[in-house]
Amino acid sequence: MRFSTLWPSLAALMASTISATALTYKMQPNEKACFFTDVAQKGAKIAFYFAVQSGGSFDIDYTVIGPNERVVMKGEKERQGDFVFTANDVGEFRFCFNNEMSTYTEKLVDFEIAVENEPRAQIPSKQGSTPEQTSVLEESILKLSSQLSTINRQQKYFRTRENRNFSTVRSTESRIFRFSMVEALMMVSMAGLQVFIVRFFFQGARKGYV
């Protein structure tokens, strides 16, 4: 099958079954923020991923609340999470982050919410192709989608590691700079104190000779 037929089929399959939202949000100190997604079909798969990129100890509290205010999952002081669960109820799901633990530290949070409805849409079949050929093509596309999703997760993981390591380097540089300033100030103070003590002794010695 030519690429001109394969890519529209892939787009039709993916666009009709998955809706996703990827955002980066800056949490203010003592802030609680919630994000919403609607599930129109019972049994849909919901993928929820988040990672704290910067701020404090890179941790955040989270809660996932389903329809009828039922808590689906929650966690405290988590740095990163990657979950997939089945929506047993139709309605609005709420994904909340809580930074009330921090009194002055901002936190940058990357997160993604993806809803995959079941059953999957059928790929438009080419004229003259058998159901077996269509099934093999669909399976190949789904496998490709899964592999792309895995690569995307790995890229996010490496990005999170890079941001955290960079934040650690900046924090270390800041501490070294402050320590150097304190050390320089102490050296200047000690030099001034030594000059004062020497002058005091010489002035006392002159008075003794007089």
First-to-final CA distance of the chain: 112
Q: Tell me the domain boundaries of the chain.
A: 3-163
pTM of the model: 0.60
Predicted pLDDT of residue 62? 95
Counting Cα atoms < 13 Å in the Cβ hemisphere of 63 gives 11
Predicted pLDDT of residue 5? 39
**Cα 190 vs. chain centroid, distance in angstroms?**
47
Predicted pLDDT of residue 205? 60
Predicted pLDDT of residue 133? 55
Predicted pLDDT of residue 127? 55
C-alpha Rg value of the chain to the nearest Å = 30
Q: Which one-letter DSSP state was computed for residue 104?
A: S
CB 62 within 8 A of CB 50: yes
Residue whose C-alpha is closest to residue 156's, from 22, 55, 3: 22
Largest CA distance in the chain: 122
Predicted pLDDT of residue 14? 45
Predicted pLDDT of residue 61? 94
Predicted pLDDT of residue 171? 78
Q: What is the Cα–Cα distance from 38 to 36, expressed in whole angstroms?
A: 7
Q: What is the Cα–Cα distance from 95 to 21, expressed in whole angstroms?
A: 12
User: Residues with Cβ < 8 Å from 108, sequence gap 6 or more?
Assistant: 24, 25, 26, 27, 52, 53, 54, 55, 163
Predicted pLDDT of residue 20? 58
CB 23 within 8 A of CB 94: no
Residue whose C-alpha is closest to residue 30's, from 105, 108, 99: 99
Tens of pLDDT, residue by residue, the chain (210 residues): 333 334 444 444 444 455 555 688 999 999 999 999 999 888 888 989 898 888 888 889 999 999 989 999 999 999 888 888 999 889 999 999 999 888 888 898 989 898 876 544 454 555 555 555 557 777 777 778 767 777 877 777 777 777 777 777 877 888 898 899 999 999 999 988 888 888 877 776 665 555
Q: Which one-letter DSSP state was computed for residue 186?
A: H
Structural domain 3-163, CATH architecture: Sandwich (2.60)
Q: Supply φ then ψ for residue 182, to 5 degrees.
A: -65, -40
CB 141 within 8 A of CB 11: no
Residue 119, preceding peptide bond in cis (omega within 30° of 0): yes
